[in-house]
Structure 1
């Protein structure tokens, strides 16, 4: 295992530069010699899929993933079907943009019934798999930190994500490991090993103390308490050698010039990932 990951694996998860539109983020990556980018759907929709595809193609950047699909649970059958339809559009966008990975943020319960919400997640994935497979896109289940169970995802541990993914071939469904969401888990390294051959994404940031904001509270790598390098090495030992996405959601970082942020990303990536 490499002591430091190669720069060739570095990917800008676009939410890190929320202050930029897609075109600006792509130009920034080219300027900073960051070879990969992960695209968010709201940024794609701002300028349209065709224009997004053209910008990516002309830049020479590679797309590590599209974020996000998921959000499966809903109170009515009609709403759940609408969400499935939206996930199919997300699959089509991922395929058009040249990535084989759609990140799933699975969604919260529409009421207090978290158990049923988890069943709806499983049903949504089951219905989406054949469509995604026909487009050459893998579904990456991303467990979120438990503090997001009420508003973003009822899937809160890597163990849960593994159990769901194991119902499918690794070419169809895998897991996305984000250090911000899983670093605390006492079963983390055991579950990373369990995910061998099924890891389709790896995201890095840091957990700063105190957390400044529940949603926009992530820190730059090295500014917090996560053993990022140990987790990265475990992920590699489990067979993942793909792009490493820097995904930092933080208002103070969004308020800074994007080019400065990208330079700090490269330094922090080299020193702490």
Structure 2
């Protein structure tokens, strides 16, 4: 955590997206002190969710409390896959009822949204690419996420527009416009979709410009929808993780300037 915060400061970044396991490893109080002393915003805390798993409510209440303490702009919610399906593990006893799983997510929000509202935390529903539907997110489109958010105030439940997850959707531009009209865009995340994907598709994200996504059109749509918050670069990639951090950030800034900021 200390290295990440220091790297942001040295490279002139103004905000940092935090992951709960890293916050826990550093300690919540120490993380708050590091971030505030560095003058950084917390663009998001990732993640809450997995609402289809047993015991979801207790863990998500903790996540909401952490987001409030960090003054995070939102708590990203990866809602979970089919009950019993665990990422990376062989199938055991599972439910194949996708409709029931989505209904369970809807019901879970009725418990968590009021708690988040009381603490001034915005839940950000993140639709994931359909290849993650079984194990990580039964929300696959921005339209589904917006429908789920609709009963709640936009400042309590919003959505994440992540280029990796939505670029393929033929309805994405209309749904981005809808999200803007409803004031629902809580976060815009960018990275590229590699082809071919690696064996572990979770690590199939690339540096912007290394894959197939047209960032100009998506970024223009998000801007036209009125989003003015932080834009996060979120890359899960073994080669990127193994590279020198300063080189990674330098490359990221150059690609961002050309493909995102210059859109």
- Common topology (TM > 0.5): yes
Q: 1:186 aligns with which of 146, 153, 170?
A: 170
TM-score, with length taken from structure 1? 0.88
Runs (4 or more) in structure 1 with deviation over 6 Å come to: none
Q: 2:147 aligns with which of 138, 163, 166?
A: 163
* Aligned partners of 1:69 and 1:102 also within 8 Å: yes
Q: Which residue of structure 2 lines up, in the alignment, with residue 262 of structure 1?
A: 249
Q: Which residue of structure 1 lines up, in the alignment, with residue 88 of structure 2?
A: none
TM-score, with length taken from structure 2? 0.92
5+ residue gaps, structure 1, are 1-21
1: distance between equivalents of 2:111 and 2:216?
A: 36
* Aligned partners of 1:139 and 1:172 also within 8 Å: yes
Q: 2:219 aligns with which of 217, 221, 232?
A: 232
Q: 1:219 aligns with which of 188, 201, 206?
A: 206
Q: Which residue of structure 2 lines up, in the alignment, with residue 245 of structure 1?
A: 232
1:147-194 deviation line (CA, Å, top 9, x unaligned): 000111000011100111111111111110000000000001011111
2: distance between equivalents of 1:154 and 1:225?
A: 24
- Alignment RMSD: 0.9
1:66-95 deviation line (CA, Å, top 9, x unaligned): 000010003xxxx2xx21111111111111
2: distance between equivalents of 1:222 and 1:241?
A: 23
Give the CA deviation at 1:257. Answer: 1.1
Describe how 1:64-143 pairs up with structure 2 within 5 A: 64-74=43-53, 79=54, 82-110=55-83, 111-143=95-127
5+ residue gaps, structure 2, are 84-94
How many residue pairs match? The answer is: 246
* Aligned partners of 1:158 and 1:191 also within 8 Å: yes
* Aligned partners of 1:142 and 1:161 also within 8 Å: yes
2: distance between equivalents of 1:226 and 1:186?
A: 13
1:225-268 deviation line (CA, Å, top 9, x unaligned): 11112101101111111100000000000000111111111001
1:187-244 deviation line (CA, Å, top 9, x unaligned): 0101111111110000000012111230111010011111112101101111111100
2:45 aligned with 1:59: no
